[in-house]
């Protein structure tokens, strides 16, 4: 297969973790006979520094010309002034919106050999294997009005949680489809006891469930879900929720896997596996740019490498290749190698490049 891949390393540790993922993809290409043509672009702070905007039309067009996008991370203290008119995060949000990546899949799977490196009791995280389906192009992130102004009685700001029926239905459908292929249980998370948008969400979920009689639908309030995630996480399988709730819940859920540095994500423009079997997508670790760790060969590249496995699966239909990457990661962890974020106290850790090299070698087989 010939694959055109847009690569946007971004800021902070982004370039370091992306470099390792690119190595791994090179090994996948060699072993399975695929050709990856990587086209690099700037996004986030790196783009602001060069052109004053977090995403140029040129980078956006390059992404639109490719089959998929691999992204590192954006942001950092240099661009964090609350009064700044451009922010690195704007680049990421614009990519999500412009590329219509409404479905964000965030699997949370605990590698058994890491059960001891979480801050939660090993018996609680044992067997955790869930996927959070987060709506990615609506809600508070994009709703209008969204502004800050000064009144005679002081400063004010507003963000709006806006959802249309169409937006809610298409993301719920992704949840139902994924649940159908897994445990057939879907938990729809909302705040229907307070928010009008959540009440619409819940109503549409109930209507849609008629089309999925084989899937058991449960509604959960977001605060209860936050509790459930650390109380009995192994009982959860597929969660579907709106943008902001999904953002918060997935950082929380990442702690089950031991580190934010372990969790991959796929942001898709369609329902995975529906109609055309491949879907345009952007793949990125869920962690941020970790500016304090940047340039030190410290960051854990596993989240980005596992994001590439998701890319192979969802954007190219290459299941065997995806599994080869996941197995390579598991085998390196099995042999005891750890980056700083997942190492047990008192034990030695390895760097970003070393972890990337070990996984690359394991992929070669
Ligand atoms: C994430 C991140 C982003 C988000 C930030 C960087 C804008 O936290 O992907 O979860 O809030 O969506
Ligand atoms: Mg987040």
User: Given this structure, which CATH class describes domain 1-110+263-365?
Assistant: alpha beta
How far does the centroid of ligand 1 lie from the alpha carbon of residue 348, in Å?
31
CA–CA dist 357, 301 (Å, integer) = 10
- Nearest-CA residue for atom 9 of ligand 1: 286
Band the pLDDT of 277: cuts 50, 70, 90: low
CA–CA dist 59, 79 (Å, integer) = 20
Structure-token match 């590698």, residue found: 111
Which of these is catalytic: 11, 23, 141, 341? 141
Higher pLDDT, 162 or 115: 162
pLDDT in tens, 41-61: 999 999 999 999 999 999 999
pLDDT in tens, 50-102: 999 999 999 999 999 999 999 999 999 999 998 899 999 999 999 999 999 99
116 is catalytic: no
Q: Do 118-257 and 1-110+263-365 fall under one CATH topology?
A: yes
**What is the reported pTM?**
0.95
How far does the centroid of ligand 2 lie from the alpha carbon of residue 354, in Å?
27
Residue 8, pLDDT > 80, answer yes
- Nearest-CA residue for atom 7 of ligand 1: 89
237 is catalytic: no
How far does the centroid of ligand 2 lie from the alpha carbon of residue 286, in Å?
6
Question: Domain 118-257: what homologous superfamily?
Answer: Isopropylmalate Dehydrogenase (3.40.718.10)
Show me where the domains of the chain are located. 1-110+263-365, 118-257
CA–CA dist 64, 43 (Å, integer) = 14
337 is catalytic: no
97 is catalytic: no
How far does the centroid of ligand 2 lie from the alpha carbon of residue 94, in Å?
16
* pLDDT-wise least confident of 37-46, 278-287, 325-334: 278-287
Cβ(89) to ligand 1 under 6 A?
yes
Rounded to 10 deg, the angle between the 14-32 and 302-314 helix axes is: 50
235 is catalytic: no
């Amino acid at each position: 297969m010939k694959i055109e891949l847009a690569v946007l390393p971004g800021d902070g540790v982004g370039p370091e973790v992306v470099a390792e993922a690119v190595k791994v993809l090179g090994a996948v290409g060699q072993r399975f006979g695929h050709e990856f043509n990587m086209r690099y672009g700037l996004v986030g702070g790196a783009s602001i520094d060069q052109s004053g905007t977090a995403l140029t039309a040129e980078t956006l067009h390059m992404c639109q010309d490719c089959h998929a996008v691999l992204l590192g991370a954006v942001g950092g203290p240099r661009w964090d002034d609350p009064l700044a008119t451009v922010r690195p995060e704007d680049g990421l949000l614009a990519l999500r919106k412009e590329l219509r990546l409404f479905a964000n899949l965030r699997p949370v799977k605990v590698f058994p050999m890491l059960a001891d490196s979480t801050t939660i009791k090993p018996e609680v995280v044992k067997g955790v294997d869930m996927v959070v389906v987060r709506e990615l192009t609506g809600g508070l992130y994009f709703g209008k009005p969204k502004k800050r102004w000064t009144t005679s009685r002081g400063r004010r700001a507003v963000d709006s949680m806006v959802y249309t029926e169409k937006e809610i239905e298409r993301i719920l459908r992704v949840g139902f489809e994924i649940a159908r292929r897994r445990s057939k249980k879907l938990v729809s998370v909302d705040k229907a006891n307070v928010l009008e948008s959540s009440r619409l969400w819940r109503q549409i979920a109930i209507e849609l469930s008629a089309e999925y009689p084989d899937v058991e639908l449960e509604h959960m309030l977001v605060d209860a879900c936050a509790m459930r995630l650390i109380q009995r996480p192994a009982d959860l399988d597929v969660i579907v929720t709106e943008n902001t709730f999904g953002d918060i819940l997935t950082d929380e859920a990442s702690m089950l896997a031991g580190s934010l540095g372990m969790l991959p994500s796929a942001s898709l423009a369609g329902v995975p596996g529906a109609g055309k079997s491949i879907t345009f997508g952007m793949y990125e670790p869920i962690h941020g740019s970790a500016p304090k760790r940047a340039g030190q060969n410290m960051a854990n590249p596993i989240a980005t490498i596992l994001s590439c496995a998701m890319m192979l699966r969802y954007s190219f239909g290459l299941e065997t290749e995806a599994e080869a990457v996941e197995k390579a990661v598991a085998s390196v962890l099995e042999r005891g190698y750890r980056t700083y974020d997942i190492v047990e106290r008192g034990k030695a850790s390895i760097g970003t490049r070393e972890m990337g090299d070990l996984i690359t070698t394991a992929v070669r087989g």
